[in-house]
């Protein structure tokens, strides 16, 4: 275990290069380059805001104020999750040409995908912060002031690094499982792709976690760490009033995700012995 | 290098690994199925520099592959196999599900490679060579036993595999270096050398996808050897680029060797192994058959291969003689494109092949002869060569000879009519490369044959066979008084083998020319 960790340190430059490769290749041929990672969620945000505020929203059925921020703050971590899951899924299988020819720590492949998507997520965050400032309706207060009711810049934002860490750990753990499974059962990828769209709706992204019936919400949080994460992101960025995020809840989520990572790592290491002949 | 001390030992979880049981001399008597007892017992370690450290050690290494004939690689298949359902064959009948076949690519292999050695691994396809390389490079894990490798391994297996087409040469150099575990800083120091070696200065900031395949290979080679490996693994990839680049690569490998880099070379090109390696390990069916000085092991391997080959040729020959078509034998179903003038002019000649009846059916209007298709046979029908025998000093009919032995080719003829002043000739060819060695005939030699009638034979005798180890083809021909009037011509239809000869100092090329070397230094000032 320690030797492995040391070896991983020897290969840290590989991780760096793989992440850079991922990002470079992604934006190589598009005119807008990395702005797509901003534009994509913004366009989605516009669509959903239109649907919920204009089509569905009415006097009797008020939507959340500043729905675009409400939505975007959940969409960004979700997008990170969805693209990392899709990316890690094929990370081993698509690198068969490397795995059969060169030895290197195979775990670098899914890890690099998660990190590249994390960087994408971080690059999209400024857009969210910008919208929090400029797209405020009349009377919602100064985002930096004490009269601010939601989507405020205050000390709650200090929780953000912890949430990012938790999501990174979660996605790596999941990535270890699915990337290794996909080597042996290629229909893992089909299942995961179908699962992703179900997962989107089972995670409080277009709706509020607070609207979920209390007993069901608990089940949701237990089975779906993304639900807890998305709810926390929303609390930190959107509902950031004094009552918001529960540190114990965040800690619990972190522990669950860490357990998943440890399990995924051992699962992956066990299966990776046979990658060379199974791909 | 600080990294050289890094050692990795991978042992399979099997409990069969008592320390000290591994054999140093990995020589097994005779290859399986050969029926020959191992004649040459090599001492693997005798030549090895004992003072140096073992950098690669295989201890009772076995590697099992499961050949999935019908592998449940989707959940559907798994469910189907769970319920014992069978996939129907084309006839609609249930087919028995083939069991997964297990295949031992390596079985109880032991050897050690010392630092600075250049070792060739030889053997037929499927003998376990590539598996061995992959175990050393850690791409595969052993099923049982342990593989320990000390130092940084760089593999020249399929060059340029780590390259991403969208990235530039420069970016790929760093990516490839990091795949080999080289820190970025170290890579930056080597960057210039790599670019210089690959001769790609102008293209280094162009995406790899615009490179020619030769450029990609050059870059791959340059990275692989410039990362300062402790152990360099290579297979047939040395055939990259143009001749000049190849020479550069070989020179560089020689330089690495001098620097103490261990080189492990897997190849079918036995001459390359002979030239590059001082030691060879011969694998057959996953076992070490011989391990020792490269020249000796290769000779032993050649004897074995020739012997095996000889059996097959002999069987085919017998079958042909008995009129049985050998499946897949090109010689019994000649389809020839190149018409020759001589043949077109010679309308009177009939085609003779293994069985004339079979031949008639195969004959198409386009059927033409080519002089250079081995096995081509044509005859006028007046007289024919019925058999050819190769005989050694004792007059024994054999197919294998040693360099320097007396050698006789006996040509049997049969004719229904009296033929005046016939000429018999032969021609020798190297089977490997088709080089035409000679083409003597009775007329040039001044042997006057007044006439032939009925049957008889003509001998061509060499006192000391000058040919070196290898396989040789023989053309036999008989003409009338006019050499252009072919009576029977069997082009490269017979063959024999020359085995590596103990004590024979020469081993390259085709012939042994008795000669002397002498040394004459100029007087010192």
Instruction: Copy the structure tokens of residue A46.
Output: 């516009």
- Chain B contacts of A276, Cβ < 8 Å? 134, 139-141
pLDDT of residue B332: 35
Q: Between the ranges A2-16, B13-27, B311-325, B328-342, where is the mean pLDDT highest? A: A2-16
Q: For chains A and B, what is the number of CB pairs under 8 angstroms?
A: 79
Residue A86 and residue A207: Cα distance in Å, rounded? 24
- Band the pLDDT of B160: cuts 50, 70, 90: low
Q: Do B174 and A25 touch (CB under 8 A)?
A: no
Q: Which of B252, B230, B182, B158 is nearest to B173 (CA)?
A: B182
Chain A stretch 51-90, residues whose beta carbon is closer than 8 A to a beta carbon of chain B: none
Q: Do A97 and B139 touch (CB under 8 A)?
A: no
DSSP three-state, residue B191: helix
Min distance A98 CA to chain B CA atoms (Å): 6
Buried b / exposed e along A144-174 (16+ C-beta atoms within 10 A)? eeeebebbbbbebeebeebbbebbbbbbbbb
CA torsion sign for B306, B309, B310, B311 is: positive
Do B254 and B93 meet the contact criterion of CB atoms below 8 Å apart? no
pLDDT digits (tens, 9 = 90+) for B441-471: 998 888 889 999 989 999 999 999 999 888 8
pLDDT digits (tens, 9 = 90+) for A175-230: 999 999 999 988 898 999 899 999 999 999 988 888 888 888 888 888 899 999 99
| A244 contact partners, CB below 8 Å, separation of at least 6 | A156, A235, A236
For an interface test with B, the pick among A2, A6, A9, A14 (most B C-beta atoms closer than 10 Å) comes out as A14
- Chain B contacts of A102, Cβ < 8 Å? 137, 139, 155, 161-162, 179-180
Q: Which of B57, B119, B107, B54 is nearest to B298 (CA)?
A: B119
For an interface test with B, the pick among A18, A277, A279 (most B C-beta atoms closer than 10 Å) comes out as A277
From first CA to last CA, the distance across chain A in angstroms is 25
Residue B273 and residue B267: Cα distance in Å, rounded? 7
- Band the pLDDT of B6: cuts 50, 70, 90: very low
CA of A82: how far to CAs of A21, A207, A217, in Å? Answer: 20, 18, 21
Q: Do A14 and B181 touch (CB under 8 A)?
A: yes
Q: Which residue on chain B is closest to A7 by alpha carbon?
A: B181
Query: Does the pLDDT of residue B370 top 70, yes or no?
Result: no
- Band the pLDDT of B70: cuts 50, 70, 90: low
Q: Which of B35-44, B95-104, B264-273, B475-484 has the lowest mean pLDDT?
A: B35-44
Do B158 and A101 meet the contact criterion of CB atoms below 8 Å apart? yes
B1 or A251, higher pLDDT: A251
Residue B341 and residue B491: Cα distance in Å, rounded? 17
Q: Which of A172-181, A187-196, B387-396, B498-507 has the lowest mean pLDDT?
A: B498-507
- Band the pLDDT of B44: cuts 50, 70, 90: very low
Residue A199 and residue B430: Cα distance in Å, rounded? 70
- β-partners of residue B56 are B113, B149
- Band the pLDDT of B16: cuts 50, 70, 90: very low
- Chain A contacts of B157, Cβ < 8 Å? 101
Q: Which of B286, B288, B316, B290 is nearest to B301 (CA)?
A: B290
Instruction: Copy the structure tokens of residue B392.
Output: 């050694």
Do B61 and B329 meet the contact criterion of CB atoms below 8 Å apart? no
Do A111 and A156 meet the contact criterion of CB atoms below 8 Å apart? no
Name which of B140, B157, B171 is nearest A277 (Cβ-Cβ).
B140
Q: Does B11 touch chain A (CB under 8 A)?
A: no
Min distance A21 CA to chain B CA atoms (Å): 8
| B89 contact partners, CB below 8 Å, separation of at least 6 | B95
Chain A stretch 154-193, residues whose beta carbon is closer than 8 A to a beta carbon of chain B: 184-187
pLDDT of residue A41: 85
pLDDT digits (tens, 9 = 90+) for B338-353: 334 444 444 444 444 3
- β-partners of residue B291 are B281
Cβ–Cβ contacts within 10 Å for residue A197, how many? 10
pLDDT digits (tens, 9 = 90+) for B229-279: 889 888 765 655 566 777 777 778 888 888 889 999 887 777 778 777 889
Chain A stretch 103-122, residues whose beta carbon is closer than 8 A to a beta carbon of chain B: 103-104
Name which of A11, A21, A104 is nearest B164 (Cβ-Cβ).
A21
**Total residue count of chain A as it appears in this document:** 279
Residue A136 and residue A69: Cα distance in Å, rounded? 9
Segment B47-59 shows an average pLDDT of: 72
Q: Does A10 touch chain B (CB under 8 A)?
A: yes
- CA torsion A201-A195-A271-B8 (nearest 10°) is -40
Q: Do B167 and A25 touch (CB under 8 A)?
A: yes
- Chain B contacts of A184, Cβ < 8 Å? 73
The stretches of B259-404 forming alpha helices (DSSP H) are: 270-276, 294-321, 341-345, 356-362
Please report which helix (H) or strand (E) contains residue A200, including its range.
Answer: helix A188-202
B19 or B201, higher pLDDT: B201
pLDDT of residue A90: 92
Q: Do B167 and A185 touch (CB under 8 A)?
A: no
Query: Does the pLDDT of residue B3 top 90, yes or no?
Result: no
Residue B143 and residue B133: Cα distance in Å, rounded? 15
pLDDT digits (tens, 9 = 90+) for B417-436: 889 899 999 999 887 777 88
Min distance B144 CA to chain A CA atoms (Å): 13
Residue B247 and residue B224: Cα distance in Å, rounded? 16
The 8-class DSSP code of residue B209 comes to G
Predicted-complex ipTM score: 0.78
DSSP states along A204-255: SSSS-GGGS-HHHHHHHHHH-HHHHHHHHHHHHHTS-STT---HHHHHHHHH
pLDDT of residue A269: 93
Residue B185 and residue B191: Cα distance in Å, rounded? 10
- Chain A contacts of B100, Cβ < 8 Å? none
Segment B46-52 shows an average pLDDT of: 48
Query: Does the pLDDT of residue B308 top 80, yes or no?
Result: no
Chain position carrying tokens 């008889």: B456
Query: Does the pLDDT of residue B412 top 70, yes or no?
Result: yes
pLDDT of residue A244: 66
Residue B128 and residue A21: Cα distance in Å, rounded? 35
- Band the pLDDT of B501: cuts 50, 70, 90: confident
Cβ–Cβ contacts within 10 Å for residue B294, how many? 22
Instruction: Copy the structure tokens of residue A125.
Output: 């965050």
Query: Does the pLDDT of residue B306 top 80, yes or no?
Result: no
As a whole number, the mean pLDDT across chain B is 74
From first CA to last CA, the distance across chain B in angstroms is 44
Query: Does the pLDDT of residue B301 top 70, yes or no?
Result: yes
Cβ–Cβ contacts within 10 Å for residue B515, how many? 6
CA A40 to chain centre: 15
- Chain A contacts of B141, Cβ < 8 Å? 273-274, 276
The low-confidence residues of chain A, meaning pLDDT below 50, are none
CA of A223: how far to CAs of A47, A82, A114, A218, A237, in Å? Answer: 29, 17, 21, 9, 24
Buried b / exposed e along B440-454 (16+ C-beta atoms within 10 A)? ebbbeeeeebeebee
- Band the pLDDT of B124: cuts 50, 70, 90: confident
Residue B381 phi, psi dihedral angles, 5° rounding: 95, -15
Q: Do B139 and A103 touch (CB under 8 A)?
A: yes
Query: Does the pLDDT of residue B82 top 60, yes or no?
Result: no
Residue B126 and residue B124: Cα distance in Å, rounded? 6
- Chain B contacts of A186, Cβ < 8 Å? 73-74
At CB < 8 A and 24+ separation, what contacts does B379-382 make? B379/B349, B379/B350, B379/B352, B379/B486, B379/B487, B379/B488, B379/B489, B380/B348, B380/B349, B380/B350, B380/B485, B380/B486, B380/B487, B380/B488, B381/B349, B381/B350, B381/B352, B382/B415, B382/B416, B382/B417, B382/B419, B382/B487
Residue B332 and residue B359: Cα distance in Å, rounded? 9
- CA torsion B66-B70-B72-B76 (nearest 10°) is 180
Q: Do A276 and B174 touch (CB under 8 A)?
A: no
């Amino acid at each position: 275990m320690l030797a492995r960790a040391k070896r991983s340190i020897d290969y840290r430059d590989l991780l760096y290069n793989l992440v850079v490769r991922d990002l470079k290749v992604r934006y190589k041929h598009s005119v807008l380059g990395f702005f797509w990672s901003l534009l994509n969620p913004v366009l989605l945000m516009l669509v959903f805001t239109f649907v919920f505020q204009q089509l569905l929203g009415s006097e009797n059925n008020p939507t959340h104020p500043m729905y675009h921020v409400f939505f975007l703050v959940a969409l960004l971590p979700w997008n990170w999750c969805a693209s990392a899951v899709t990316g890690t899924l094929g990370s081993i299988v698509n690198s068969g040409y490397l795995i059969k020819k060169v030895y290197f720590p195979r775990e670098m492949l899914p890890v690099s995908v998660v990190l590249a998507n994390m960087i994408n997520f971080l690059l999209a965050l400024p857009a969210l912060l910008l919208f929090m400032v400029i797209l405020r309706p009349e009377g919602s207060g100064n985002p930096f002031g004490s009269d601010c009711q939601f989507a405020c810049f205050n000390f709650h934002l200090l929780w953000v690094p912890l949430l990012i860490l938790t999501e990174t750990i979660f996605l790596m753990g999941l990535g270890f499982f699915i990337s290794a499974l996909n080597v042996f059962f290629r229909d893992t990828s089909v299942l995961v792709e179908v699962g992703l769209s179900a997962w989107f709706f089972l995670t409080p992204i277009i709706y509020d976690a607070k609207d979920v019936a209390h007993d069901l919400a608990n089940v949701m949080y237990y089975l779906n760490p993304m639900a807890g994460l998305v709810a926390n992101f929303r609390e930190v960025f959107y509902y950031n009033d004094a009552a918001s995020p529960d540190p114990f809840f965040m800690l619990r989520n972190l522990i669950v995700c860490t357990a998943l990572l440890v399990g995924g790592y051992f699962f992956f290491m066990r299966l990776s012995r046979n990658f060379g002949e199974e791909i | 290098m600080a990294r050289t001390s890094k050692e990795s030992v991978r042992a399979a979880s099997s409990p069969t690994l008592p320390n000290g049981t591994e054999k140093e001399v990995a020589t097994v008597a005779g290859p399986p199925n050969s029926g020959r007892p191992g004649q040459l017992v090599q001492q693997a370690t005798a030549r090895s520099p004992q003072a140096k450290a073992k950098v690669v050690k295989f201890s009772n290494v076995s590697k099992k592959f499961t050949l999935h004939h019908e592998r449940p690689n989707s959940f559907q298949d798994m469910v189907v196999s769970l319920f014992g359902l069978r996939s129907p064959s084309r006839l609609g009948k249930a087919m028995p599900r083939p069991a997964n076949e297990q295949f031992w690519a390596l079985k109880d292999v032991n050897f050690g490679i010392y630092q600075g050695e250049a070792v060739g691994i030889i053997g037929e396809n499927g003998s376990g060579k590539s598996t061995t390389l992959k175990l050393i490079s850690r791409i595969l894990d052993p099923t049982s036993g342990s593989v320990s490798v000390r130092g940084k391994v760089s593999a020249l297996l399929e060059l340029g595999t780590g390259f991403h087409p969208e990235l530039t040469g420069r970016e790929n150099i760093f990516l490839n270096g990091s795949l080999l575990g080289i820190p970025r800083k170290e890579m930056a120091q080597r960057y210039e050398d790599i670019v210089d070696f690959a001769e790609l200065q102008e293209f280094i900031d162009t995406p790899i996808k615009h490179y020619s395949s030769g450029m990609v290979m050059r870059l791959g080679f340059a990275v692989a050897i410039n990362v300062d490996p402790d152990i360099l693994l290579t297979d047939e990839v040395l055939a990259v680029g143009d001749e000049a680049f190849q020479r550069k690569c070989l020179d560089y490998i020689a330089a690495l060797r001098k620097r103490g880099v261990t080189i492990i070379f897997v190849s079918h090109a036995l001459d390359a192994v002979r030239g590059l390696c001082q030691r060879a390990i011969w694998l057959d069916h996953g076992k070490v058959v011989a391990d020792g000085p490269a020249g000796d092991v290769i000779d032993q391997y050649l004897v074995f291969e020739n012997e095996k080959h000889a059996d097959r040729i002999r069987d085919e020959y017998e079958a042909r003689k008995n009129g049985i078509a050998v499946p897949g034998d090109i010689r019994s179903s000649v389809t020839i494109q190149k018409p020759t003038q001589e043949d077109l002019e010679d309308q009177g000649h009939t085609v003779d092949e293994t069985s004339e009846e079979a031949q008639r059916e195969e004959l198409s209007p386009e059927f033409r002869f080519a002089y250079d298709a081995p096995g081509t046979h044509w005859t006028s029908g007046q007289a024919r060569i019925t058999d050819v025998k190769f005989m050694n000093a004792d007059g024994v009919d054999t197919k294998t000879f040693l360099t320097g032995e007396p050698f006789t080719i006996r040509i049997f003829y049969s004719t229904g009519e009296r033929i005046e002043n016939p000429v018999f000739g032969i021609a020798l060819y190297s089977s490997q490369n088709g080089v035409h060695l000679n083409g003597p005939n009775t007329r040039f030699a001044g042997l006057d044959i007044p006439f032939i009638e009925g049957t008889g034979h003509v001998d061509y005798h060499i006192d000391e066979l000058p040919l070196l180890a290898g396989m040789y083809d023989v053309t036999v021909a008989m003409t009338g008084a006019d050499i252009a009037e072919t009576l029977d011509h069997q082009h490269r239809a017979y063959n024999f083998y020359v085995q590596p000869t103990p004590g024979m100092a020469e081993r390259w090329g085709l012939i042994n020319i008795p000669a002397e070397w002498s040394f004459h230094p100029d007087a010192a000032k």
